[in-house]
Structure 1
C-alpha cells in the first residue's frame, strides 16, 4: 500500500511547495551579480522545464536526509533545488529528437516542442550550469569544504560515470551502435548509472550538509542505492501498465524500441517482487536511525508503489 499518512503527505507536499518557491526565485527575471543579462526566450524555456510540475522527489530526499541530523533552513532546500535543476536539464535533453524524441512531459509539450530544438539544448545547458552555481554559493553553506563536496558529488553523479554515462549505455541498448543483448546484470548497471546515481546523491547531499559520520553515510548510501533501483523497476512497470494520460508522458517506449528492462528478464510478477525486496532492503538500512527515519521509510514505499 502506498504510504498515505497525513504526516508523510504533508511533508511531501510541503517540500514540493518550498522547492517551487525556491526555483521561482532562482529563475526570476532579475540578473544576479556577475550576470550581464537573462535572455527572455532562454529564461522562459528554463522555467517551462523546471516549474509547475513533478513530485520533487530528489529535493525531498535531500531535505529529509538533512533533517535526520537536525540540519534545516536554506542549505538543504537550495541543494535539493540544485539537484532538481540538474534533473530537469537531463529531461530536456532526454526528450530531444536525437535521444528519446518525446512530445510530452508532465502533461505539457516538451521544451523542444514548446520552443525549438536549439533553445531546448541551450535551456538544458543553462539549467545544468545554474545547478552547480547554487551549490558553490556561500548561501548554500558557509563551509567551503562542504560546498566543494556537494559540487564534486553532483558532478560525479551526473557525468561520465553516472547519469550521462548511463544515457549512452541506454542508447546502445536500443541497438544504435550495433546489435545489443543485455544481461540482467548489465541492465541493473545501466539503470543504476542513468537513474540511480542522481537519486543516491540526493540522499548523500543531505548527509553531507548534516555532517553525518561514516557509519550513517554508509547506511544512507545503501538506502539510496536500493531506492534508486526500486524507482527504476517501478518506472519499467508503469511504462507497461499505466496510461499516458495518467503519467503525463508517452508510455510503452521501451517495448517500442526493443530495449530490455527487468520486466522482460523477470516477468511482471517477478519485477513487482523485486520492487518489494528493494523496499525491504532500503528500509532495513535505516534501522540505525530509529523512528527519526520514518519519513524516509515511507518515501521508498511511495517510490516503489506509486501509480503515476
Structure 2
C-alpha cells in the first residue's frame, strides 16, 4: 500500500446539493459555533472516526461504505458567499475538519476546500482547519496570507509516530512524518500551528504521549492537545472487531481502559467528559500531557489561537460587482 492512496476498493463520489453550507452548533465543550464539512465520508479509513455513524443517514454502512462511498458539495464556495453576504450574518471563526477531513485525496481533484478558503480570504474571515494530511500545504499561500492578519490557524492530527501502528489505525492517511513536516512548514510560514493527539488509544498509542509532544514542539507547534478515544454508536463494534484482528493479545485491556475513561461504557456523550474522559486513566493522561507541555514550553490548542473577527467584509453582491 502506498502512503496516501485511496482504498483498494473502488472509491465512488456523488455530489450533494445542500441549500446551506455553514453548520451551527451550541455545544459548550467545543471552541467554535460554526463549521463547514465539504466532504461526507472519509478515504483515510481511521477505525476510530466518530463521524462514521453519519453514513447511516445515506442508507450506507459506517464501515467500508464510509471509506469508499463519498459525497462532495461542489457548490460549497457559492453557498458560502451567499451566506456571508446576508445582512444578518455575524462573523466568528469557521472550523473545517471537525467531522471529516477536508484534505482527503479526492480534494486534489475537486478543490472544494481550496475554493472555500479563497472565499474566506477575500472576505478577511477567520478560519481554523483540523486535518491529518500534509495536503494542507497546497494552500499554504492562502493560509500564510490570512495568518499575517491573524485570520487562520491549523491543527494537525498525529495519533502515532510508529508507521506500523499509524497504518493500522489510519490506513490511508499520510505518514506521520509527513504531517510533522507540514507542522514545520506551516509554522515557518507564520501560520499558528498546533498538534492534536486525537484520539489517544490506551495500551496502543498512549506510550507515545511524551514523544509526540517533544516532536511537535521541535517542529514549531505552538501547542499540543489530546482527546481520549470515543466509540459512539456503530463505531464501538467496528473498533472491537479491529482490536480482535490486530491486537488480540490486548483487546480486553484496551476495552477495560476505555470503560474506565467512559464511566463504565463504550462511550460517554456528555459535554466536557466526552472530550476529556474521566477517572484514573483520564487524570493520568492530563498529568502526562501537562508535564510534557511544560517541559517543552508549549500550550494546549486554543490558548493562543485567538483570531480576529473585526476585519470581516461581506462579499459583494450582484449589484456591487457591477461597479
Same fold (TM over 0.5): no
The structure richer in helix per residue is 1
The structure richer in strand per residue is 2
